[in-house]
Amino acid sequence: MLYEAIHRQEGARSTKRIEGKVGVSVSSQNDSTKDNLTKSAFSRRSWLRGAGIGTGVVGAGVLEQEADAQQAKVMSGEVEISLNLNGRPRSVKVEPRTTLLDALRNRLDTTGAKRVCDRGTCGACTVIVGGKAVYGCTMLAVDAVGKNIQTIEGLAPEGQLHPVSQAFVNNDAQQCGYCTPGFVMASKALLDRNPNPTVEQVEKGMAGNICRCGTYVGVRKAVLEAAKMRGGSNA
């Protein structure tokens, strides 16, 4: 089985792929010595704990040893969880491996966040969880329980536009538009954190999002305009 445990760090793209069946991490840390495990402990250990996946599912190898050590409860099939989505509790059945993104798109018909790279690189699935921008594809749905999840649908009621969305329209910061919800959410999170960003801070803040049509010139202007609308002065 192929599991992907990927997380987004501020401004950095980091990816860890874990091949469950053979217990090999395809990232650079596929050494199973104790020391290395401790160093990379983010990660596999907390991920396993969070996912609640035990030996039966994961199989042999490093992961099994770690999982044994954790004595995690075996959980398989679908379970019902409640997600606090855009200010409303939403009940949804997910598997332990279901990402937040897939729970939103496939199970809650909340499709603003898009699945593009599906491994924490492109930002098309950016949502705001607990006030921070995260890649929806890098977070398991079960890990989002108890946290405030904001998607682009939650920015403004249908028929109205959030100022960031409006700035994207004004500056034509979109062509095919598939990356746009991710950019809008990343912009919103950036401006929440830093209401008055410089051009360089905008570029850095948007560096975790990729647009194939090449709308970055418009995005750069849009974020600065949105900051201005919200009272920032660098724009």
Q: Quote the CA–CA distance of 121 and 185 in Å, as a whole number.
A: 15
- Binding other proteins by CB under 8 A: which of 18, 206, 224, 235? 206
Comparison of 116 and 229: residue with beta carbon closer to other proteins: 116
Q: Is 12 an interacting residue with respect to other proteins (CB under 8 A)?
A: no
Site for other proteins in 177-196 (CB under 8 A): 177-181, 184
Q: Is 149 an interacting residue with respect to other proteins (CB under 8 A)?
A: no
Q: Is 41 an interacting residue with respect to other proteins (CB under 8 A)?
A: no
Burial class (CB in 10 A: 0-12, 13-18, 19+), 193: middle
Instruction: Kindly provide the residue ranges of all beta strands, DSSP E only, lying in the chain, ordered along the sequence.
Output: 2-9, 12-19, 24-25, 79-85, 88-94, 126-129, 132-135, 148-150
Dihedral over Cα of 143, 146, 147, 149: its sign: positive
Burial class (CB in 10 A: 0-12, 13-18, 19+), 109: exposed
Q: Quote the CA–CA distance of 101 and 3 in Å, as a whole number.
A: 15
Q: Is 102 an interacting residue with respect to other proteins (CB under 8 A)?
A: yes
- Binding other proteins by CB under 8 A: which of 24, 75, 210, 229? 210
Q: Please, what is the minimum distance in Å from the beta carbon of residue 39 to other proteins? A: 21
Q: Is 214 an interacting residue with respect to other proteins (CB under 8 A)?
A: yes
Q: Is 119 an interacting residue with respect to other proteins (CB under 8 A)?
A: yes
Using only C-alpha atoms, the chain has a radius of gyration, in whole angstroms, of 19
Q: Which stretch binds other proteins (CB under 8 A): 36-44, 59-67, 140-148, 160-168?
A: 160-168
Site size toward other proteins (CB under 8 A) is 65
- Binding other proteins by CB under 8 A: which of 122, 128, 140, 224? 122
For residue 19, what are its two tokens? 């091949």
Q: Quote the CA–CA distance of 216 and 146 in Å, as a whole number.
A: 35
CB 146 within 8 A of CB 84: yes
- Binding other proteins by CB under 8 A: which of 85, 152, 189, 235? 152
Q: Is 90 an interacting residue with respect to other proteins (CB under 8 A)?
A: no
Q: Quote the CA–CA distance of 98 and 216 in Å, as a whole number.
A: 31
Q: Is 217 an interacting residue with respect to other proteins (CB under 8 A)?
A: yes
Phi, psi dihedrals of residue 124, rounded to the nearest 5°: -65, -20
Q: Is 170 an interacting residue with respect to other proteins (CB under 8 A)?
A: yes
**Interface contacts to other proteins, rule CB under 8 A:** 1-2, 13, 15, 95, 97-98, 102, 105-106, 109, 111-119, 121-122, 124, 151-153, 155-156, 158, 161-162, 165-166, 168-170, 172-181, 184, 202-204, 206-220
